[in-house]
Amino acid sequence: MTNKMRVLVLGATGYVGRHIVQALAATDWAEPIAASRRGAVALDATDTTALVPALRQADAIVNAMASSPQDMIANAQALRAALAGTPMRLVHLSSMAAYGNVEGPIDEDQPLLGDLGPYSAAKAQAEHILRDCAQAVMLRPGCIYGRGSPQWSTRIARLLRAHRIGDLGAAGDGCSNLVHVDDVAQAVLAALLRPQAGGQAYNLSMAQAPTWNEYFIAYARALGATPVSRIGARQLRLETKALAPALKVAEIAGRKIGLARHLPPPIPPSLLRLWQQDIRLTSAKAQRELGLQWTSWPDALRRD
């Protein structure tokens, strides 16, 4: 059908990208063009000259590219250059990390401090670069979980099964800002369809998100990784100060011989900091303007 919206998805083989492509393909109005460095449509999304012809084949673009901080910035610059003068809808997957080291309820008007390390800084800078694109919609998801989410489902499940995390006490009091990957995909669809979303930013995090402790305890129970362990401050120090650097070294070495994914996941200090950081994304705007309904997390834990 010729009247379908052709949507170029950058980072289409990534975890979020794959779900976006699937969700687009399941509609009767969109036709995804799945692009990635090594995907069906091979494309270097940090290269303007490669992006320009690809954009000519598309009506809209979803930027779900996840990569190193340098590449994320290069990607944003290339995208801005390629889109110059083209009022094409761009849905950009930013992150809660763009807000940086802030606590309390955070709405979309908060400045993007990006002061939580290189990833956080790159996320903030990428948004800053892409803000000039007339039809850009910024989606700022919290922690994306759901079937096979490497960061917030499979890694957490491995750590819970190994009883390396569980009830973390004061170290797990932060709000998780979890958002199900299906809800992120729905947000992308809505952002593509709704004209008034242009130029807007939206936090994506379920309403009344659990604390990390609540999430870990419920998840461990769903996995049968019981009884849930209380992890003391001493053990967490050992994880971040001794085990994490060692595992990181092993991971780099292991990657060369293809064993990296068999290694236990490290708990770096940044992760521990996140679990304590009581940032609470307010996502009423996404509910209101994108018509989102949040997947119930206890249901998702039972189902996924």
Partner 1 sequence: MIEDANRIPAGSTLHADLCIVGAGAAGIALALALQDSGLDVILLESGSDRPDAAAQALYEGTVADAHLHPPPDHYRVRRFGGSTTLWGGRCMPMDAIDFERRDYIAHSGWPIGLDDLLPYYPRANQLCEAGDFAYTVETAFTRPVRSMIGGFDSETFSTDTLERFSCPTDFGARYRRRLERGPARVLLNANLTSLSSRPATQSDASTQPQPVDSAQVRTLAGNHFIVQAQGYVLAAGGLEVARLLLASPGASGRGLGNARDMVGRYYMSHIAGTLGTADLSHAGSVWHGYEISDEGIYCRRRLALRPQAQRALQAGNFVARLHHPRIPDPGHGSGILSALYLARPIVPYEYAKRLYGDAPGRGATLAHLRNVALDAPGTAAFLWNWLRRRTLAERKFPSIIMRPKNLRFSLDFHAEQEPNPSSRVKLGQAVDALGMPRIEIDWRYTGRDVQTVQSALAALAQAFGQTGVGRLDYAPDQVEAEMTRYGAYGGHHLGTARMGTDPADSVVDAQCRLHEADNVYIASSAVFPTSSQANPTLTVVALALRLADHLRKTYAAPRAPIESEIGSEAR
Which residues bind to partner 1, rule: CB under 8 A?
103, 166-167, 169-170, 173, 217, 221, 226-234, 276, 278
Q: How far is CA 126 from the centre of its chain?
A: 14
Task: Please identify, using beta-carbon distances, which residue of 184 and 209 lies nearer to partner 1.
Answer: 209
CA 88 – CA 111 distance, rounded (Å): 25
Q: Cβ closer to partner 1: 194 or 221?
A: 221
- Min CB(226)–partner 1 separation in Å: 4
Minimum Å gap between C-beta 247 and partner 1 is 23
For the bound state, the minimum distance from the C-beta of residue 245 to partner 1, rounded and expressed in Å, comes to: 23
Nearer to partner 1 by Cβ, of 86 and 276: the residue is 276
Write out the two tokens for 102: 């802030």
| Helices within the chain (DSSP H only) | 15-25, 48-56, 69-83, 118-130, 155-161, 181-193, 212-223, 233-238, 244-256, 269-276, 284-289, 297-303
Closer residue to partner 1 (CB): 137 or 231: 231
Nearer to partner 1, 234 or 262 (CB): 234
> Smallest gap, in angstroms, from Cβ of residue 217 to partner 1?
6
Q: C-beta of 267: minimal distance to partner 1 in Å?
A: 16
The answer, yes or no, to whether the previous bond of 105 is cis (omega within 30 of 0) is no
The neighbouring-strand residues paired with 280 are: 105
Widest Cα–Cα separation across the chain: 61
DSSP state of 277: -
Task: Report in angstroms how near the CB of residue 222 gets to partner 1 at its nearest.
Answer: 10
- Cβ proximity to partner 1, 154 vs 276, nearer residue: 276
**Coil, helix or strand at residue 63:** strand
User: Cα separation of 105 and 98, whole Å?
Assistant: 15
